[in-house]
Amino acid sequence: MTLSSSCDTHIPRNRLVHFDTFEAYFTKRIFPNFITFSYIGLFLATLYLLFDYHTYADTMYMSSVIISRLVAIFFAIMVVVASKNKTFEPYRIEAITFFGTMGYTAITYSYIAYDNVIYFVGFNWIFYLVATIMLTPLITTKLYIFMESFQITAVLVLMYIYFKPFEMLFTYTVFSVPLAFYVYAVVSLNRKNGLEAYENAYNMHILSSIDGLSHLLNRRSWYEISKKLFSQQTNVAFIMLDIDHFKKVNDTYGHDAGDMVIQTVSRILLEQTRQQDLIGRLGGEEFGIILPYATLAEAHTIAERIRTTIEKTHIHYNEEILNVTVSLGLSEKNPQMKDLSMLVTYGDQLLYQAKENGRNRVVVVAG
């Protein structure tokens, strides 16, 4: 049995873009309604307890039926718990499916074994299928086939064990199999549509967040995410970086060469920074890097690593070999800085000093 705990949608990931996983994306959209539905299921399971008590009050089946019903109520409670409790988050769909199946099996057993009204088996199964449909596209078709095959087989086996008439077995089969195939088609379609919807949403997010040339965050996205980090973190360092004499590259070799320089520098920035660092292309040849949880000394090490790597890199363009350098201004957040713009302004001033002092250097002043 395989469940999509980590859905592979064949979409290239960019570490700078924070986007929900497939499961998280649809969990936010599905579970508010599903939790309400699971409460309804719990209410009905409890309500049926009164019905069962009334039906079996004067029979020898009384204790067994009540026990079966209490087991079903327990699993209905567990469906609610699994839907809401973060403890189940890594395997939520597996847990809900298991608890729901066990609860349905307990009800089915009590109806068939103790001569209850048999149409309640079909009624509860339809309720179970509706819950299944609500959880798509998180439920895979493989999981659906496994669980529904188990459900139908369990009912038929119980009917056979308890000597139910052949007509009853035939009626249930004629009713359940086509319905199961119909729901399978719905699950498969929802799964396919879900994958496409997620891919489209992710690609749209990429297009709106990433600069097309550098594949770094664009100016708007970088400022949007950096403002949140600035407000949430105490230790925040900032690097303002500019490619030295970039206009000369464009004027001498053309804009295609300039684009290659931008791409090479951007690749080095991704390689020489940490996973949590935010890198954005803020202007033509100007870049900003936010380094959360970094001391000034740690950020200085990263800045120097970036500078020396770019200085030593040979960029091959047609038959030419281009070498560029960068200037960097490095600052850190201090209590006097009320917002991100003050940190960026200060970093820009330090960058200007680096250029005034001869370029190809890092200027650091504690904030």
Instruction: Express each pLDDT in 200-243 by its tens digit.
Output: 988 898 889 999 999 999 999 999 999 999 998 888 999 999 99
- What per-residue confidence (pLDDT) applies to 133? 83
Give yes or no for residue 9 having a pLDDT over 50.
no
Query: What pLDDT was estimated at residue 361?
Result: 96
Q: So what CATH class is 219-364?
A: alpha beta
Q: What is the pLDDT of residues 149-194, one digit of tens each?
A: 888 888 889 888 988 888 888 888 888 888 888 888 888 888 888 8
pLDDT tens for each residue of 183-204: 888 888 888 888 899 989 888 9
Averaged pLDDT score across all residues of the chain: 87
Indicate whether 1 pLDDT > 50: no
**pLDDT at residue 260, rounded to an integer:** 96
**pLDDT value at residue 54:** 80
Neighbouring residues of 161: CB distance < 8 A, sequence distance ≥ 6: none
pLDDT digits (tens, 9 = 90+) for 330-358: 999 988 888 999 999 999 999 999 999 99
Residue 359 has pLDDT above 90, yes or no: yes
pLDDT for the residue 13: 62
User: Residue 171's pLDDT is what?
Assistant: 83
Q: How many CB atoms lie within 10 A of CB 271?
A: 10
Q: How confident is the model at residue 10 (pLDDT cuts 50, 70, 90)?
A: very low
At residue 104 the predicted structure's pLDDT band, cuts being 50, 70 and 90, is: confident
Give the CA angle between residues 180, 144, 169 to the nearest 5°.
35
Confidence of residue 144 (pLDDT cuts 50, 70, 90): confident
Q: Where are the domains of the chain?
A: 22-208, 219-364
State the pLDDT confidence band at 94, using cuts at 50, 70 and 90: confident
Q: What local confidence, expressed as pLDDT, does residue 348 receive?
A: 94
Confidence band for 327, pLDDT divided at 50, 70 and 90: very high
Alpha-carbon separation of residue 193 from 94, 97, 188 (angstroms): 21, 21, 9
The CB density around residue 8, as the number of other CB atoms within 10 Å, is 8
Predicted pLDDT of residue 117: 61
Q: What is the pLDDT of residues 19-38, one digit of tens each?
A: 888 888 888 888 888 999 89
Mean pLDDT of 292-304: 94
pLDDT computed for residue 3 by the predictor: 32
Residue 53's pLDDT band, with cuts at 50, 70 and 90, is: confident
Residue 19: other Cβ atoms inside 10 A: 15
Q: What is the pLDDT of residue 122?
A: 65
Closest CA to 180 of 217, 214, 133: 133
Q: What is the pLDDT of residue 108?
A: 80
Considering only 101-105, 286-290, 355-359, which range has the smallest mean pLDDT? Answer: 101-105
**In percent, how much of the chain has pLDDT > 70?**
94
pLDDT band at 120 (very low <50, low <70, confident <90, very high): low
Q: How confident is the model at residue 4 (pLDDT cuts 50, 70, 90)?
A: very low
pTM here?
0.70
